[in-house]
């Protein structure tokens, strides 16, 4: 007779243990916390060295480093300027709204020897040219008109980030002159420096 209370006590203890396990599985209130994650991307513009577009050269020997060399600046019979053009592309990227700035150091092709640059009636002493730029949907031009030897620039607004080929076309027209069209060109070495900037606007 003494064995029955012991068995009943074990059954009750077992039942309480199961009830405790069931209560532990019931979820309580959930604690949450918001944790912002932040980072910064700097404004960056990059531009690789230029490369000549296939079929993009007329009367230009090609790129010598960063220099375009005109093959024959004047017509051998008339000494008037011959047409010349080149299309150069640059792999470029700007990750913010920016501007393209084209800058001509001399506002045209001017002789290296300043004595040649004096205006001689009937002759061209400087040669105007045009530079066109295209990047995605954005286009613009710089007219280096050779009316005065000074820096000239054009700013072109780009409203968003842009990536891909930036194309530059430089063109000297037939008979270009800072005087009368088709005027013979005074002897000398003619040069200009054209710069392209990608920069904040």
Q: What is the pLDDT along the chain (201 residues), one digit of tens a residue?
A: 444 444 444 343 444 444 455 555 667 788 899 999 999 999 999 999 999 988 889 999 988 888 999 999 999 999 999 999 999 999 999 999 999 999 999 999 999 987 766 667 899 999 999 999 999 899 999 999 999 999 999 999 999 999 999 999 999 999 999 999 999 999 999 999 999 999 998
Q: Is residue 30 part of a domain?
A: no
What single-letter DSSP state applies at residue 77? Answer: T
Q: Is residue 189 part of a domain?
A: yes
Position 26 scores a pLDDT of: 66
Q: Is residue 21 part of a domain?
A: no
Domain that holds residue 50: 45-199
Q: Is residue 16 part of a domain?
A: no
Q: Is residue 12 part of a domain?
A: no
Q: Which two tokens stand for residue 171?
A: 């063109």
Q: Is residue 20 part of a domain?
A: no
Q: Is residue 36 part of a domain?
A: no
Residue 69: which residues within 8 A CB-CB, separation 6 or more? 60, 61, 62
Helical residues (DSSP H) of 43-111, grouped into ranges: none
Residue 146: which residues within 8 A CB-CB, separation 6 or more? 107, 108, 109, 110, 126, 127, 128, 129, 176, 178
Q: Is residue 125 part of a domain?
A: yes
Q: Say how many domains are in the chain.
A: 1
Q: Which two tokens stand for residue 33?
A: 């916390």
């Amino acid at each position: 007779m003494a064995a029955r209370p012991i068995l009943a006590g074990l059954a009750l203890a077992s039942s309480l243990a199961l009830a405790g396990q069931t209560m532990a599985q019931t979820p309580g209130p959930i604690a949450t916390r918001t944790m912002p994650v932040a980072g910064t991307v700097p404004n960056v513009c990059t531009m690789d060295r230029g490369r000549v577009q296939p079929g993009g050269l007329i009367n230009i020997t090609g790129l010598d480093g960063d220099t375009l060399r005109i093959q024959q600046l004047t017509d051998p019979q008339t000494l008037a300027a011959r047409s010349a053009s080149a299309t150069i592309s640059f792999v470029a990227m700007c990750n913010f709204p920016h501007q393209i700035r084209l800058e001509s150091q001399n506002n045209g092709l001017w002789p290296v020897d300043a004595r040649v640059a004096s205006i001689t009636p009937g002759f061209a002493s400087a040669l105007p040219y045009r530079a066109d730029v295209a990047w995605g949907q954005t286009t613009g031009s710089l007219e280096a008109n050779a009316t005065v030897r000074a820096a000239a620039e054009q700013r072109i607004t780009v409203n968003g980030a842009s990536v891909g080929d930036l194309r530059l076309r430089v063109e000297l027209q037939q008979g270009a002159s800072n005087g009368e069209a088709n005027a013979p060109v005074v002897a000398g070495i003619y040069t200009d420096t054209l710069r392209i900037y990608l920069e904040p606007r």
